[in-house]
Amino acid sequence: MHIGYILTKTPSEKGFNSFLKFVELYQNKNQLSIYLVGNGVYCARKDNMAFDKIKNLLNDSKIYANSDDLKARGISIENLINGIIQFSHYDQMVIDIMDNFDQVLSF
């Protein structure tokens, strides 16, 4: 099963911990894709407080970050965790969700 996550929470918000708990439920049993949008792109920074957790997720998940949201928050490509894929249009995310995911969770 392909599970998708849309994350709009920063690592310091309570919703981020809920996100991690749900990832743990589905990890290793399903294909996971994570979209970082809005303030969720702060999770893509190398120096964020959840760096190790995000880096660990890259071992068996695809993580995407919206390039416009990164730019709006002053996060340059040099500051991104290696392995995070940028996408430029929300349409790409919507198409991926509609065509490929069996379930979507948003935090």
Q: What is the pLDDT of residues 51-65, one digit of tens each?
A: 899 998 988 899 999
Calculate Rg over the CA atoms of the chain.
Answer: 13
Q: Is this structure's pTM higher than 0.85?
A: yes
Give the structural domain span for 90.
2-106
Residue 84 is part of a domain; what is its CATH number? 3.40.1260.10
Q: What is the pLDDT of residues 11-23, one digit of tens each?
A: 999 899 999 999 9
Indicate the pLDDT class of residue 81, thresholds 50, 70 and 90. Answer: very high
Sheet of 31-36, strands arranged across: 85-87, 61-66, 31-36, 2-7, 103-106
- Tally of structural domains, the chain: 1
Query: What Cα–Cα distance (Å) separates residue 105 from each residue in 33, 34, 86, 97, 99?
Result: 11, 10, 20, 11, 15
